[in-house]
Amino acid sequence: MKRAEANGMNELGYSELGSEGREQLILDHADLVQRIAYHLVARLPASVQVDDLIQAGTIGLIEAARKYDASQGASFDTYAGIRIRGAMLDEIRRNDWAPRSVHRKSRQLTDAIREIEHREGRSARDSEVAEALGLSLEEYHRLVHDSVSYLVFSFEDILGAEAGEFWQDGEGGPLEGLTRERFSEALARCIEGLPERERLVIALYYDEELNLREIGEVLGVSESRVSQIHSQALARLRARLRDWIERAGSEEGRHQRP
């Protein structure tokens, strides 16, 4: 079936499609599953298999076809993309391979960046953070890469495990909805405050969904350099948003008190 015909089906909800129509809708979006899987796996350790992501994403696509409701305003492509990516991220979280040392060092990195930026009132330089951690510049860049490779898979995961303490499975009441909205606003402000090249890499990777090689071609730098810039940007965002999540957690605790 042509994509135009599939788009016509996008205007229908699950209940209005016959079984053949739903199957065709899934087949027409199989390439979306693969595109998202390869985009994610480029930022993950070699132990993560793209086939596992594709399998999880396909289940997400099937769920999207089953639950899609056109009356909510989103196109099927948009809705399916969210469900596919979410299913892949859930699969990754269920098989957390990060050793405890990575989580510990990631917190140390975040704390060092926060301390320097609070003290200096500007973006922390790589050399300053490396010195604070007692590392060479090469060791520091390796730590940054390892930390974000293990802990960051989407913007909702930028804060690492701390976010899971009050965001559960994407469900929740008005307070959680407000918290998510405030997080998005805080994240947007932090991204705007990134150094120009880091901000550009974030936009190209997450908004335009270019891979690291493609971003390198745009910027005229190597793929490894793009990876380094991306990792540094995410480490900086985690550090800057830690204050926000601590305040949000405290606010939620106050609301929950009897």
Cα(7)–Cα(252) distance, rounded to whole angstroms?
41
Contacts of 234 (CB under 8 A, 6+ apart): 148, 152, 158
Average confidence (pLDDT) over 28-32: 90
Q: Check residue 177 and give its pLDDT.
A: 54
* Mean pLDDT computed over every residue of the chain: 76
Average confidence (pLDDT) over 185-199: 88
Residue 185 vs residues 180, 190, 244, 256: alpha-carbon distances, Å: 9, 9, 11, 23
Task: Please check whether residues 20 and 112 belong to one and the same domain.
Answer: no
Residue 230, domain extent: 100-256
The CATH number for 201's domain is: 1.20.140
Higher pLDDT, 84 or 73: 84
Q: Check residue 249 and give its pLDDT.
A: 56
Q: Which of 45, 69, 94 is the last residue of a domain?
A: 94
Q: Check residue 164 and give its pLDDT.
A: 41
Residue 48's pLDDT band, with cuts at 50, 70 and 90, is: confident
Residue 132's pLDDT band, with cuts at 50, 70 and 90, is: very high
Q: Which of 63, 94, 125 is the last residue of a domain?
A: 94
Contacts of 49 (CB under 8 A, 6+ apart): none
| Of the listed ranges 51-60, 73-82, 162-171, the one predicted with least confidence | 162-171
Residue 209 vs residues 45, 62, 153, 214: alpha-carbon distances, Å: 19, 23, 13, 10
Query: What pLDDT digit, counting tens, does each position of 196-251 carry?
Result: 999 999 999 878 878 888 999 999 999 889 988 988 898 888 888 876 766 655 55
Q: Check residue 208 and give its pLDDT.
A: 82
Task: Please check whether residues 78 and 149 belong to one and the same domain.
Answer: no
Task: Please check whether residues 180 and 154 belong to one and the same domain.
Answer: yes
Q: Check residue 3 and give its pLDDT.
A: 42
Task: Please check whether residues 148 and 66 belong to one and the same domain.
Answer: no
pLDDT at 162 over 50: no
Task: Please check whether residues 124 and 83 belong to one and the same domain.
Answer: no
Q: Check residue 15 and give its pLDDT.
A: 44
Task: Please check whether residues 149 and 74 belong to one and the same domain.
Answer: no
Cα(209)–Cα(185) distance, rounded to whole angstroms?
21
**Residue tagged 């609070």 (tokens):** 118
Task: Please check whether residues 204 and 89 belong to one and the same domain.
Answer: no
Q: Which of 37, 62, 94 is the last residue of a domain?
A: 94
Domain count along the chain: 2
- Which of 108, 90, 91, 84 has its CA nearest to residue 33? 84
Task: Please check whether residues 220 and 170 belong to one and the same domain.
Answer: yes
Cα(27)–Cα(6) distance, rounded to whole angstroms?
10
Task: Please check whether residues 148 and 244 belong to one and the same domain.
Answer: yes
Query: What pLDDT digit, counting tens, does each position of 77-113 carry?
Result: 888 888 898 888 888 777 765 666 777 888 889 899 9
Residue 180's pLDDT band, with cuts at 50, 70 and 90, is: low
**Helix, strand, coil percentages in the chain from 3-state DSSP, rounded to 5:** 75, 0, 20
Task: Please check whether residues 139 and 155 belong to one and the same domain.
Answer: yes
Contacts of 175 (CB under 8 A, 6+ apart): 252, 255
- 237 in Cβ contact with 190 (< 8 Å): yes
The CATH number for 32's domain is: 1.10.1740.10
Residue 159's pLDDT band, with cuts at 50, 70 and 90, is: very low
Task: Please check whether residues 112 and 89 belong to one and the same domain.
Answer: no
Task: Please check whether residues 55 and 164 belong to one and the same domain.
Answer: no
